[in-house]
Structure 1
Amino acid sequence: MNIIYTVCNRTNLAHALALADSVLQHQPGDTFYIGLVDSITVDNLPGHVKLLPVSALSIPGWDQMAAAYYDFELLPACRPWFALELLKKHTECRQLTFLSPTTLLKGAFNGLLNAESEMFLTPNISAPLRTSPILDDKRILNAGMYHSGSWTLRPSDKTRAMLEWWAHRTIDRANFDLCNGMNTDQLWLNYVPVWVPATTTLHNAGWHYGLNAVLNKNLTANGNSYQVDGQPLVSLEFAGLGHFDPIWSDHAPLVTENKAYQALFIEYQRIVIKKKNELELNGEPAFGKFANILPNRLMRKGIAAKLKQLTTYIDQF
């Protein structure tokens, strides 16, 4: 049994359902789960989607986590806990894959996974970035070497021990606070090869193409067929586009760097909007502090940059 899962709340449930449809199309033999960090009742889920509510998890100090974290921090903090619960629930599971709700499969990915490895990570970059005022190597180092929107493990003593270690650190160390060495769940992924020596980094050009890739990889379209640097497109990541992401929303203007990616994002938005209208969900997520950050984020960052220039000038004199 192979399981693919994602974690969301009402804000990005429509994205998760779009991912579920792509899993059904390209990985039809896999079981798909949505880990729901919310209190809403979701009726009439498609038959290919299973729901696992956060209330089914035994997270130590859950009430304190829900009160301390913003909702966009709480979701990634719950990811390893859902993984542990799914492995407990399905002892027959032979492969567990996490994909962020803003991921979309465009092809099957089992062929990318070699038989010898127990863990598969997705790098944020596979080569030094070309010069850009929007994204540079330092920002990648701040974010972490691996993209937290995609990883796969094969259950073993080592991968279970890694999940336990990771999960307990997200209880109180999964804030978005780069200055104090925290970046939700993501920086902990840097330690995975220490815990699981049989870890493979997936450098396939067509895997997990997103804002992290547009500066270095060329996505091209030929009708309904897509390739990245000569390799078939396998998956897309739309983190930071149309939905707030603490890292990638800062780099949203990069979408214009590749016209094929931009066109795919426009198509993806139509799918998500249709699913949002079908769900008819309103209100704020039940767990985590809510912050309406996206609308004015880039404006605020621009003002902050100007103020920093001014204070630097004053300091010089």
Structure 2
Amino acid sequence: MNITYTICNRTTLPHALTLADSVQKFQPGSVFYLCWVDNAALPELPANIRVINITEVAIQDWDKMVSRYFDFELLAACRPWVAQFILKENANCQTLTFLAPTVVLFQSTETILDNENDIFLTPNILKPLTPSSYLDDKRILNIGMFHSGSWTLRNNEKVRDTLTWWANRTLDRATYDLCNGMNMDQLWLNYIPVLLPKTKIIRHSGWHFGLQAVLNKDLSLSAGKYLVDNQPLISVDFAGLTIFDPIWSNHYGLINKNNLFKNLLGYYEKSLAGYKHLVPTGNAPIPGKVADIKKYRIVRNNLAGKLKTITTYIDQF
């Protein structure tokens, strides 16, 4: 059995359902799990989706995690815990894939997996970034070499032990605090190639196209098929483009670097709109601290950067 799962709350429910559609289309043999991290009642979902409520996972110190983390941090901190739960409930699972709700498949993942490795990681970049005012190599180094929104693992003892190691660290070390060496669950992935020698870094150009790839990869359309550096497009991550993302929302402007990517975003937004009626309403709180995200935060950050440049110039001269 091959399993794909995602984790969401009401903010990302339309994204998770759009992801589920793409998994059903391109991975019809894969079982799809949705873990619900929300106090609101989840409406009835399509039959192809198996639902896990986060309370079923029985994470130790769950109440402390809820009080410690913002809601978006909490979703990330749950990822290794839910992976453990799924493997315990499905002993016959051979491969387990996590995809963030903002991911959409465009092809099967069979071409990028093999039977020789224990875990498959998604690198943020595969070569030095083209110089840009939006994003640089140091920023990638700061947030982590591997993208935690997309990975696949084999179900064996060594991998399960590594999951336990990872999960124990997201109990209290999964905040978004780059200055203190934390980036939710993501920076811990830097250790994986050391802990699991049979780690494969996915190098297919068409895998996980997103804002991190716009500067270095060419998304094109040929004979009705999307290509990335002349290889078939397999997946896209729209992180930072439709909802707040602590990392990628700061780089929203990169969407203008490729018109086809903008077109794909338009189609994606239409898919999300088709599921908005399923989003629960009411006063039930979302677990985790409420993040007060200002509407014009990107404009404000850009203005602050320009003012800092001016004050630095004045200080120098």
Q: Is the 8 A contact 1:104 1:237 kept in 2?
A: yes
Give 2:70's aligned residue. 70
SS in 2 for 1:11: coil
Q: How many residues align?
A: 317
AA in 1 matched with 2:112: L
Structure 1 position 212 matched with structure 2 position 212: yes
Give 1:232's aligned residue. 232
Cα deviation 1:181-230 (Å, max 9, x = unaligned): 00001000000111111000001000010001111111111353111111
Cα deviation 1:10-58 (Å, max 9, x = unaligned): 1001100000000000000000011111122222210110111110112
Structure 1 position 106 matched with structure 2 position 93: no
What CA distance in whole angstroms lies between the structure 2 residues aligned with 1:294 and 1:237? 23
SS in 1 for 2:240: coil
Structure 1 position 185 matched with structure 2 position 185: yes
What CA distance in whole angstroms lies between the structure 2 residues aligned with 1:130 and 1:283? 46
Give 1:32's aligned residue. 32
Question: 34-43 or 276-285: which moved more?
Answer: 276-285
* Alignment root-mean-square deviation, CA: 1.5
Give 1:297's aligned residue. 297
What CA distance in whole angstroms lies between the structure 2 residues aligned with 1:7 and 1:283? 21
Give 1:79's aligned residue. 79
AA in 1 matched with 2:208: H
Q: Is the 8 A contact 2:41 2:280 kept in 1?
A: no
Runs of 5+ in structure 1 lacking a partner? Answer: none
Q: Is the 8 A contact 2:43 2:278 kept in 1?
A: no
Structure 1 position 167 matched with structure 2 position 171: no
Give 1:245's aligned residue. 245
Deviation at 1:261, TM superposition (A): 1.0
AA in 1 matched with 2:244: F
AA in 2 matched with 1:36: W
AA in 2 matched with 1:32: F
SS in 1 for 2:214: coil
SS in 2 for 1:142: helix
Cα deviation 1:156-186 (Å, max 9, x = unaligned): 1211111101111011100100000000010
Deviation at 1:285, TM superposition (A): 4.7
Distance 1:223 1:40, change over 3 A: farther
What CA distance in whole angstroms lies between the structure 2 residues aligned with 1:278 and 1:75? 20
Runs of 5+ in structure 2 lacking a partner? Answer: none
Question: 290-299 or 78-87: which moved more?
Answer: 290-299
Distance 1:15 1:282, change over 3 A: farther
TM-score, structure 2 as length reference? 0.96
TM-score, structure 1 as length reference? 0.96
1:30-69 matches, cutoff 5 A:
30-69=30-69
Q: Is the 8 A contact 2:205 2:231 kept in 1?
A: yes
AA in 2 matched with 1:96: L
AA in 2 matched with 1:238: F
Give 2:94's aligned residue. 94
Cα deviation 1:60-114 (Å, max 9, x = unaligned): 2111110111111111000100000000111110000000000000010022112
Give 1:14's aligned residue. 14
Q: Is the 8 A contact 2:173 2:182 kept in 1?
A: yes
1:132-171 matches, cutoff 5 A:
132-171=132-171
AA in 2 matched with 1:259: N
Give 1:271's aligned residue. 271
What CA distance in whole angstroms lies between the structure 1 residues aligned with 2:191 and 2:37? 26
Q: Is the 8 A contact 2:123 2:201 kept in 1?
A: yes
What CA distance in whole angstroms lies between the structure 1 residues aligned with 2:224 and 2:268? 14
What CA distance in whole angstroms lies between the structure 2 residues aligned with 1:43 and 1:234? 30
What CA distance in whole angstroms lies between the structure 2 residues aligned with 1:16 and 1:128? 32
Distance 1:118 1:298, change over 3 A: same
What CA distance in whole angstroms lies between the structure 2 residues aligned with 1:284 and 1:316? 53
What CA distance in whole angstroms lies between the structure 1 residues aligned with 2:220 and 2:313? 45
What CA distance in whole angstroms lies between the structure 1 residues aligned with 2:310 and 2:171? 39
What CA distance in whole angstroms lies between the structure 2 residues aligned with 1:294 and 1:138? 26
What CA distance in whole angstroms lies between the structure 2 residues aligned with 1:262 and 1:151? 25
Q: Is the 8 A contact 2:134 2:251 kept in 1?
A: yes
Instruction: Determine what percentage of the aligned residue pairs are the same residue.
Output: 51
